[in-house]
């Protein structure tokens, strides 16, 4: 097992922009997925402050409401990938503004084609581009280097433009919620897009009961609509002060609930990155993926992972069929990591 805590520098940063210069028009193309959108925020914030820029953002339609929560964004353009009849209207809106910079932070063929269709002077793509996206850019930002966190990869655009690096900031504004009850409030997010990234459900049950017993925690189960039934069973098995929110929240509402938590316990997932951006401490379980590349970014987080030599395999299917890289992380290990993270909110009744 290894515990890792990411470190982020201080947030003090002075913008490079001359306030007498007219704002530059910048288009960001970052269409998905949930975690990737948050990885882009520090770079976008530096662009906003250093260039005194007006930021527009192209994103898939299902994320439009979420990107409206990003404080640096002026206008959100929803790409109607499931409604092709709306594409002419989308491209008309896209070309209504002439941009000084068109920056694709996705690096896929689809995003590159959107960047090419926009009206602007410079088109810049990321070093991690693929699928032939390179042919649609005038420039690439940085050299390919995947042995670093995704946040740092995206920030290649800052040095490419000759701007001063700055400590990572995630300016988001989620609708506030009142979860009720006394802290500590702990969110459990037991599902991800890959089955191989999911910590065993029974382990969540045992961990949840431990947190209730030893930290008097109120638990909130998070998940999408497809996860609602399984999350309801999880909540019933844990019992006690457990609230099942799966399938009931919009993405902005999810951000509000995560902001109200004292801890999120999760697999490698989109809510993990959302919580980290909101400043909520994260305890994350990593199996087939690499936390050095996609772990929760910033201080105060802990990642648990096994020492199996086959990981990180970065695959959606375990070739051994048992996902032992995650099952090797026991509820006891997770409890030993989580309880100190909650100690500031409650006196842990050790030994009970």
State the pLDDT confidence band at 318, using cuts at 50, 70 and 90: low
Helix axis angle for 201-215 and 228-238, nearest 10°, is 40
**Rounded CA separation 47/15 (Å):** 9
- What Å distances lie between residue 36 and 44, 71, 80, 233, CA to CA? 13, 17, 19, 30
**Could you tell me the fold of the domain covering 185-342?**
Rossmann fold (3.40.50)
What Cα–Cα distance (Å) separates residue 201 from each residue in 9, 180, 295?
36, 26, 21
Higher per-residue pLDDT: 326 or 88: 88
Query: What is the per-residue pLDDT across 117-172, written as a single tens digit (0 to 9) for each?
Result: 999 989 999 999 999 999 999 999 999 998 899 999 999 999 999 999 999 999 99
Q: How far is CA 113 from CA 8, 35, 86, in A?
A: 34, 22, 16
Which residues is 3 bridged to in the sheet?
304
Q: How far is Cα 246 from Cα 204, in angstroms, rounded to an integer?
A: 15
Return phi, psi of residue 316, to 5°: -80, -10
**Residue 321: band (very low, low, confident or very high) from pLDDT cuts 50, 70, 90:** low
The pLDDT value given to residue 307: 79
Give the pLDDT mean for 172-184.
93
pLDDT tens, residue by residue, 264-273: 999 999 999 9
Torsion angle of C-alpha atoms 81, 84, 86, 89, degrees rounded to 10: 90
Lowest mean pLDDT, pick from 30-44, 84-98, 151-165, 179-193: 179-193
CA–CA dist 51, 25 (Å, integer): 9
Residue 240 has pLDDT above 50, yes or no: yes
CA distances from 284 to 120, 206, 260, 297, 318 (A): 41, 16, 18, 11, 19
For residues 339 and 212, the answer to whether their CB atoms sit within 8 Å is no
Average pLDDT rounded to a whole number, residues 206-220? 97
- Between residues 195 and 259, the one the model is more confident about: 259
Listed in order, the ranges of the chain carrying CATH 3.40.50.2000 are 13-160, 185-342
Of 137-151, 229-243, 317-331, 336-350, the one with minimum mean pLDDT is 317-331
Written out in words, the top-level CATH class of the domain with range 13-160 is alpha beta
d(CA 261, CA 251): 16
**Segment 317-330 mean pLDDT:** 75
Split at pLDDT 50, 70, 90, the class of 213 is very high
């Amino acid at each position: 097992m290894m515990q890792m805590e990411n470190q982020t520098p201080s947030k003090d940063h002075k913008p490079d922009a001359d306030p007498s210069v007219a704002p530059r028009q910048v288009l960001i193309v970052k269409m998905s997925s949930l975690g990737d959108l948050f990885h882009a925020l520090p770079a976008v914030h530096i662009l906003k402050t250093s260039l005194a820029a007006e930021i527009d953002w192209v994103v898939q339609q299902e994320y439009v409401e979420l990107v409206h929560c990003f404080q640096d964004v002026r206008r959100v353009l929803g790409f109607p990938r499931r409604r092709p009849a709306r594409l002419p209207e989308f491209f008309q809106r896209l070309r209504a503004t002439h941009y000084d910079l068109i920056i694709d932070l996705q690096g896929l063929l689809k995003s590159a084609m959107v960047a090419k269709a926009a009206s602007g002077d410079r088109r810049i793509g990321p070093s991690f581009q693929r699928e032939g996206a390179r042919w649609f850019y005038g420039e690439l930002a940085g050299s390919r280097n995947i042995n670093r966190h995704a946040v740092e990869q995206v920030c290649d655009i800052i040095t490419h433009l000759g701007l001063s690096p700055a400590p990572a900031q995630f300016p988001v504004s989620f609708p506030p919620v009142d979860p009720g009850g006394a802290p500590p409030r702990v969110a459990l997010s037991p599902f991800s897009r890959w089955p191989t990234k999911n910590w065993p459900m029974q382990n969540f049950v045992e961990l949840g009961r431990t947190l209730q017993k030893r930290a008097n925690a109120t638990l909130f189960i998070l998940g999408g609509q497809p996860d609602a039934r399984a999350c309801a069973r999880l909540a019933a098995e844990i019992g006690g002060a457990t609230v099942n929110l799966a399938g009931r929240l919009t993405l902005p509402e999810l951000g509000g609930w995560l902001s109200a938590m004292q801890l999120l316990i999760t697999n490698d997932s989109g809510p993990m990155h959302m919580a980290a951006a909101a400043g909520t401490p994260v305890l994350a379980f990593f199996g087939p993926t690499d936390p050095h590349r996609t772990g929760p970014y910033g201080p105060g987080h802990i990642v648990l992972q096994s020492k199996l030599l086959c990981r990180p395999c970065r695959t959606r299917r375990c070739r051994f069929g048992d996902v032992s890289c995650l099952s090797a992380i026991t509820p006891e290990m997770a409890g030993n990591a989580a309880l100190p993270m909650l100690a500031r909110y409650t006196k842990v009744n050790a030994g009970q």
